Structure 1
Amino acid sequence: MPAFHLDLTACHQHLVRVRLSHTPSRPSLGFALPGWTPGSYLIRDYVRQLEGLTVVQAGQALEPRRLTPSRWQLELPNLEPLEIRYTLHAADLTVRTCHLNGDHGFLALAAVVLELDGERWSPHGLQLSLPPDWQAFVPLPTPDGTIPPEGSAGWLAANFDQLVDTPIEVGPHRAHAFQVAGVPHRWVTWGSDLGGGDPLDRDPLWLTDLEQVCLACCRLMGVEQPAAPHYLFVLHLTDSGYGGLEHDLSTVLQFGRRALVRPGGRRKLLQLAAHEYLHQWNVRRLRPAELTPYRYDRAVVVPTLWFAEGITSYVDQLLPHSAGCCTEAEVLEDLGADLSRYLLSPGRQVQSLRASSEEAWVKLYQTDAYSPNSQISYYLKGAVLALVLDLHLRRAGSGLPQVLRELWASHGAVGRGYREVDLIEAFARQAPDLAERLPRWLASCEDPPLQACLADVGLRLQPTLGPSQDLGCRLEAGATGLTLARVAREGPAVRAGLAVGDEWIALNGVRLRSVDDCMELFRPEAPLTAHQLLFCRDGLVRTTTLLPEPPSVEGWRLEIVPETAEATAPQRRRWLTLETP
């Protein structure tokens, strides 16, 4: 059985020392470090942080041959036990990388553990060495099969996949225990002693509300208990971070301290927790066939990420309301903000939802200043499509919860991966016209019928105009002056020959020092006349003529239609609480 020992005592150097003990069964042994972690579709080349790999067998140093940057091959003189040792630099604080310092340690094990050829489905042991007074929070059982207490001397993963799926948080933290339908859960926060405050210290009802959100997830899936036999929440409170990563038995969340104390911050954190918690069904166990099993060394095209993430992003806003933790007005505000972001995304007219899913590996996680013009997030458009599908299904007497429950029974609960055709058939069984409509919505760049579906529940989207004339670009103030941070593919700025990175110096002969200086000349009531712009690009000063356009739509607001408010209130309530018709 492969056994890993991770020494985290060199925390101030950000170094994780790894020792892998193994008794080989064949004279030739290959091993590799994963290139990505499930749930985050980007090749991250974790091997960048690996150094000093050595192999010792019976006191003799062996020389493995490197086949690729992250794969090695070793020819063995015998089958005696051996040790592979290496060190990892851990200084990248995200939910999918490793971070170790004097305050805490967090390990995403895809960046840490080597996969030995032929041992993927074997049990894997895990032990940790920690600084004094630190505890380990690991969502794995101990070798005797019990749920581990903090500070356990060791853990046992059923196979390599479960080991990779195990995030490790260590530090002088304390865990808060609670239950969801009789299933033990733990909550651990890091960063609360650095100025933010643990949600549990400031909010005695936090765990109560979190439990209700977890139960709302169970109701949505039509089950009595969570899919996991035990569950760990890890929260990293940071200066301004946001995100999460799902696992079978746990989730790791990152949230900003300032954001948490702002109005709506508590609700946003509940939504993030709901999103990742629901993933224990949708994505982890109800999984695309292309990810069954995972291929840790390569990118795999997954056309259905819109379902995995878009559906989850849609319902994560409704789940706290379904749990009784926020008001109807608050959930409508949040839905409206997402719909506004979508309608203001020019990339939705260029990239289809299916293409967004298929191109995740090379686009979503590697954006630049021009990305909004050419791509749309499958999280965002997937959530918009999920809303439309839910309301469309409700016209037919069904709803999105029914589709999720059917797919869980036919695929997730039995470990069967789904393909796009399975999803389309599941939706079409509830509303037959979706057999033709849904493929078109996935393959084309047309907007799904938002306004018509919203009207069913007495809602409409109202546009608001921007406070200035439209320049087709966005300016930012920096150390050197005003710089173009974004340029629309169509509009006044691109017609004037401007590009991202251009520094604006003067307008009509007047020096520009702030964004306000510039916008003062483009008030909505000002005449639409040409302006002479002096700008700098690549060290060369240039001039151009900029002709603005009338103010464009700056945002969209979701509001209840007064004329139908009373008649549609019952349908709206059932929809927003995720009740089936």
Structure 2
Amino acid sequence: MPDDPPQPDAAAGPVIQLDLREPHRHLVQVTLLLTPRCLRPELQLPAWTPGSYLIRDHVRNLEGLEVIQGDSNVVPIRVSEACWRLPLTSLAPLVVRYRLQATELTVRTCHLSADHGFLALAGVVLEATGERWNPHRLELLLPEGWQAFIPLPAAADGAWIAGDYDRLIDAPVEAGPHPCHRFSVAGVPHRWVTWGGDLPARDPAWLADVERIALTCCRLMGETAPASDDYLFVLHLLDAGFGGLEHDHASVLQYGRRALAAPGGRRKLLQLVAHEYLHQWNVRRLKPAELTPLDYGRATIVSGLWFAEGVTSYLDLLLPLAAGVGTEADLLEDLGADLSRYLLTPGRRVQGLRQSAEEAWVKLYRQDASSADSQISYYLKGAVVALVLDLHLRRHGSSLGMVLRGLWRSHGAAGRGYTDADLVDAFADQAPDLAELLPLWLESTDDPDLDAYLADVGLALRPKPANEPFLGWQLEEAAGGSMRLKRVHRDGPAERACLQAGDELLALDDLRLRSLEDLALALAIPTAAAERQLLFCRDGRVRLTGLQPDSPAIASWQLVIDPERDSALKRANRQRWLSLQP
């Protein structure tokens, strides 16, 4: 950073300078220039990244904070874990400097290496008192050969201008020597940037398929063009990984090269594209009232996350097919996998859908060995309820798409946040009985009548039983030829045997266990006793317990076209459903 940075123009708002020129150090050098608007201003770093409902305490990565006013150092007074008050004697301009460690590679955090830089600005830029709704100017200093990709208007001198602090925080920064491909959707400019490869160059049909999906999202929302007037896709193509985060004018995606090369891998990446792109409307502009405006300093309970994420998770399966990318067989396979995962998650009997959304901050993003037994993802159950809602609405001559378009017109396009009551009213307006059914599905831990709704479109779920007795555990092979319990199912045989996650299995009925193959061979040996003798180690002590297996459980569910249910009428209903038509 220059020793004597230019003094800020108070009317123009704060200036943020980010120096990434020593990427091997994994440190971002930050200079914030501003003119204070009071004598006791505060500087605060957000505690979370919007779109990911977890307190991340970004301040843990901040170091070396110093504040200079003229020729004097101002000593910041820490008033909370991520907030400092500045005791000033004048309103002369300030220079604020600090460093941020950028070593966490997710779509919600910051990562700087010799290959690239990615900055989620919620973890980078301090908010100054009185500046939230003022313009912010962003300047970057980059290594030679790098360029920056940011979904903000560019100034003539190479900087970027955000209309206010919220728009700045919503702008992800990707930098590096990356290829950039430009294309358009309904005349709106789009960019595709990949770190870790050049997907559009390797897959010539890629951008055309992305455009088809984007246009299908527009049609679903009843619009002729995207909500953004200039859109950026950033893909981190890694050895392994999966994730995405939505922004008003961008999507940041992470995907594994191995997964992409696997059967169905390309299709699943397109579904991720569809999911984040649809968020351009649902979540970013059509949003829960609790998120208008955002509170960056604390967790905000949002019971409508089931609609924001669950509906989007359901539609991301159908959007590629409706766009002409994929087949009906692909859709049944992918939807069947989600329904199977839902039905095999015992936590759905413990936590309701609304409760899952309200507890997102403390449960969904803090998984442990017992999570599957005590909770259900609002993404997953939200998608199941969205499927049921869509098929229910079709019985009334409507569809989920019609409800989504109505809410967009009444709330999203008007900049109004929706409440739980607004959602129920929107659905009940299309099917009056949903005024009672929808609240029940949101609160209850009972499953909706999936079988009856799937029958409407000639489908059925078929169970596939496991080949071996149910032991009520999930194992992982550890280094050195050993096995440990990764998970113990609630109310299962392993729990009844007083086993717990972390236990190391040593022997079953006097047969040594070193691998899953050893366990399968030991279980295959006939025994007259119902109870098996299991030797295990916990905390360095060897113990013996009796393990009594249950009958084989259902290993998975498969979604199929049922010849006994199918008919010309149901096939027509199915085609309208799959093409997102009422």
TM-score of the aligned structures, taking structure 2 as reference length: 0.96
CA RMSD of aligned residues (A): 1.2
The one-letter code sitting in structure 2 at the alignment partner of 1:160 is Y
1:79 pairs with 2:91: yes
Q: Which residue of 2 aligns with 1:173?
A: 178
Contact kept? 1:462, 1:559, Cα under 8 Å: yes
Paired amino acid for 2:149: F
Give the aligned partner of residue 64 of structure 1.
Answer: 76
For structure 1, which segment, 477-486 or 493-502, has the greater mean C-alpha deviation from structure 2 after superposition? 477-486
* Secondary structure of the structure 1 residue equivalent to 2:413: helix
Partner of 1:3: 15
Shift of 1:527: 6.8
Amino acid at match of 1:499: Q
Counterpart Cα distance in 1 of 2:395 and 2:149: 46
Q: Does 1:319 align with 2:319?
A: yes
Aligned to 1:286: 286
Q: CA deviation at 1:80?
A: 1.3
CA contact (8 A) 2:37 2:129 kept: no
Q: In 1, Cα distance between the equivalents of 2:495 and 2:76?
A: 55
Q: How big is the shift at 1:64? A: 1.1
Q: Distance between the aligned counterparts of 1:286 and 1:60, measured in 2?
A: 47
Residue 7 (structure 2) aligns with? none
Write the mapping of 1:239-254 to structure 2, written as runs, cut at 5 A: 239-254=239-254
* Aligned equivalents of 2:317, 2:350: Cα separation in 1: 27
Distance across 1 between alignment mates of 2:121 and 2:524: 54
Task: Give the share of equivalent positions with the same residue, in percent.
Answer: 61
Tell me, what secondary structure is at the counterpart of 2:564? helix
Taking the aligned partners of 2:94 and 2:550, their CA distance within structure 1 comes to 71
Match for residue 5 of structure 2? none
- 2:112, 2:118 within 8 Å by CA — same for their partners in 1? yes
SS, match of residue 75 in structure 1: coil
Q: For the residues of structure 1 that align with 2:526 and 2:83, how far apart are their CA atoms?
A: 64
The aligned counterpart of 1:298 is 298
Other-structure match for 1:147? none
What residue is the counterpart of 1:185 in the other structure? 190
Q: Matches of 1:382 and 1:140 in 2, distance apart?
A: 32
Letter of the 1:397 partner, please give it: G
Quote the residue 1:498 is aligned against: 499
What is the CA distance between 1:60 and its match in structure 2? 1.2
Partner of 1:577: 579
* CA pair 486-9 structure 1, distance change in 2 beyond 3 A: same
TM-score, normalisation: structure 1: 0.96
2:8 is aligned to none
Residue 497 to residue 173, structure 1, CA distance change in 2 (3 Å): same
Residue 347 (structure 1) aligns with:
347
1:469-502 per-residue CA deviation (whole Å, 9 max, x = no partner) reads 1001112211251111111111111111111111
| 1:36 is aligned to 2:48 | yes
How do 1:38-437 residues align onto structure 2 when only pairs under 5 Å count? Answer: 38-143=50-155, 153-192=158-197, 198-437=198-437
For 1:496, give the aligned amino acid.
Answer: A
Matches within 5 A, 1:444-463: 444-463=444-463
1:529 shift after superposition: 2.0
Amino acid at match of 1:569: R
Q: 1:50 to 1:519 in 2, by over 3 A?
A: same
Change (3 A) 1:440 1:524: farther
The CA distance in 2 between the partners of 1:524 and 1:543, in whole Å, is 19
How far does the alpha carbon of each residue in 1:238-258 deviate from its partner, in whole angstroms, 9 at most, with x for none? 111100000000010000011
Structure 1 residue 25: deviation in Å?
2.3
Q: For the structure 1 residues 488 and 213, does the alpha-carbon distance in structure 2 shift closer, same or farther, using more than 3 Å as the test?
A: same
Q: How many Å separate the matches in 1 of 2:500 and 2:23? A: 44
Partner of 1:532: 533
1:209 deviates by 0.5
Quick check: 1:32–1:70 contact (8 Å CA) kept in 2?
A: yes
For 1:428, the aligned partner's letter is A
Q: Say if 1:469 and 1:524, in contact at 8 Å, map to a contact too.
A: no
How many Å apart are 1:424 and its aligned residue?
0.5
Instruction: Tell me if the contact between 2:318 and 2:579 (Cα under 8 Å) persists in the aligned partners.
Output: yes
* Aligned-partner residue type, residue 379 of structure 1: Y
